Amino acid sequence: MGLAVAIFILYSGFGLIKDTLDPLLGKAPDPELVESIREKILSYPGVLGTHDLMVHDYGPGRQFASVHVEMAAEQNVLECHDIIDTIERDFKKNFNLHMIIHYDPVVTNDPAARDLRRWISDEVKKIDPGLSIHDLRVVPGSTHTNVIFDCVVPHNLSVSASEITRRITKTVADKYPGYVCVITIDASFAAIPK
């Protein structure tokens, strides 16, 4: 009987320590919170997309988030800055969330780059629906054209980063000879299992 009580006390103690340390050391954000933040940011004028959203929760009143916000490169930079400042202020005021936003300009007036971005995005989803791309740039050169982008990979994906890179690179080269992919694999911080 005494052993059972001791085991129960130890088990309860470890649970209390874990519950206390999780907010201090960091834990994965609630997926619903991540999606609501993303949807709210996308509701602002001029915002085309988001990526690299990270939420840090250090206890009540101590939530911080950082995110990259995509806006048209052709849009006035001062207008973009004003929209980003507004988003940061609104999140602080309405949700008590300290938001830091990185501005990512996206070229929208180049139909070839836009079509390539859309096509590559569709192709990576054929590997796994959880994959996505961002920050795509097309850099022509004298011998080949570099297609540079980041690919976001969910943590539960069983396909290796090198296999994803190999498959995307081959798919692009098959359709666009002379195009060379330069891919950075990003882990999805918003999808870390709890």
The first and second tokens of residue 171, run together, are 């798919």
CB within 8 Å of 174: residues ≥ 6 apart: none
- Is there a domain that residue 14 lies in? no
Last residue of one domain, picked from the residues 106, 134, 158: 106
Do 82 and 130 fall into the same domain? no
Cross-strand bridge partners of residue 140: 145
- Is there a domain that residue 131 lies in? yes
Do 136 and 80 fall into the same domain? no
The angle at the Cα of 41, spanning 38 to 44, to the nearest 5 degrees, equals 150
Do 126 and 187 fall into the same domain? yes
**pTM (two decimals):** 0.71
Last residue of one domain, picked from the residues 106, 133, 158: 106
Per-residue pLDDT of 48-87, as tens digits, reads 999 889 898 877 778 899 999 999 989 999 999 999 999 9
Q: What is the pLDDT of residue 194?
A: 40
- Is there a domain that residue 94 lies in? yes
First vs last C-alpha separation in the chain: 34
Per-residue pLDDT of 107-158, as tens digits, reads 888 898 889 999 999 999 999 998 999 989 888 888 999 999 999 998 788 8
- Is there a domain that residue 156 lies in? yes
Do 119 and 187 fall into the same domain? yes
Q: How many domains does one find in the chain?
A: 2
Do 146 and 177 fall into the same domain? yes
Cross-strand bridge partners of residue 56: 64
Q: What is the pLDDT of residue 188?
A: 74
pLDDT > 80? residue 36 = yes
> Which one is predicted more confidently, 188 or 95?
95
> Do 121 and 155 touch, CB atoms closer than 8 A?
no
Do 42 and 93 fall into the same domain? yes
In which domain, by residue range, is 96 found? Answer: 31-106
For residue 193, with 0-12 CB atoms within 10 Å meaning exposed, 13-18 middle and 19 or more buried, which class applies? exposed
- Determine the average pLDDT of the residues in 87-101: 95
pLDDT > 70? residue 26 = no
Nearest to 170 by CA among 188, 186, 187, 183: 183
Model confidence band, residue 23 (pLDDT cutoffs 50, 70, 90): low
Cα(11)–Cα(175) distance, integer angstroms: 58
Last residue of one domain, picked from the residues 78, 106, 134: 106
Do 77 and 96 fall into the same domain? yes
Cross-strand bridge partners of residue 55: 65
| CA distances to 16, 96, 135, 149, 180 from 104, in Å | 42, 24, 8, 13, 23
| CA distances to 78, 89, 100, 118, 132 from 74, in Å | 12, 24, 23, 19, 24
